[in-house]
Amino acid sequence: MPAPRPEKPSAWKIFVLFAAAALLAITGILLLVVDPGRAAPSAEPGTAAASPGPFSSTPSTSSAEPTSTPQGTAAPEQESSAPGSVPPKAADTARRFVLAWASHDARPGHDVSFSDAGVRAAAYATDEFAAQLREPGDRSTRLWQQWTADKARVTCVVDRVATPDGAPSATTTRAYVRLLYTCTTRAAGQPATRSHDQLALEMRHEPAGAWRVAAIVNA
* 0.75 exceeded by pTM: no
pLDDT digits (tens, 9 = 90+) for 55-102: 222 333 233 333 333 333 333 333 343 445 899 999 999 999 999 999
What's the one-letter identity of residue 88? P
Contacts 24+ apart (CB under 8 A), 108-112: 108/151, 110/153
Q: What is the CA radius of gyration of the chain?
A: 39
Instruction: Please tell me the predicted confidence (pLDDT) of residue 140.
Output: 81
pLDDT in tens, 136-159: 877 688 999 999 999 999 999 999
The domain made up of 88-216 has a fold known as Nuclear Transport Factor 2; Chain: A, (3.10.450)
What is the predicted pLDDT for the residue at 138? Answer: 72
* Separation of alpha carbons 26 and 29, rounded Å: 5
Inter-residue contact 179 to 95 (CB < 8 Å):
yes
- Contact residues for 132 (Cβ-Cβ < 8 A; gap 6+): none
pLDDT of 6 above 80: no
Instruction: Supply the pLDDT for residue 39.
Output: 38
CB 185: neighbour CB atoms within 10 A?
19
- Residue type, position 128, single letter: E
Q: What is the model's pLDDT at position 26?
A: 62
Closest CA to 148 of 183, 184, 187: 187
Which SS3 state, helix, strand or coil, does residue 194 take? strand
Cβ-proximal residues to 53 (8 Å cutoff; 6+ apart), any chain: 60
pLDDT at 166 over 80: yes
Identity of the highest mean pLDDT range in 8-17, 34-43, 182-191: 182-191
d(CA 38, CA 31): 9
Structure confidence by residue, pLDDT tens digits, 180-216? 999 999 999 999 999 999 999 999 999 888 999 999 9
Other CB atoms within a 10 A radius of the CB of residue 152 amount to 21
Q: Is the pLDDT of residue 104 over 80?
A: yes
Strand residue runs (E) in the chain: 104-105, 153-162, 174-186, 193-205, 211-216
pLDDT tens digits for 72-81?
A: 333 333 334 3
SS3 125: strand
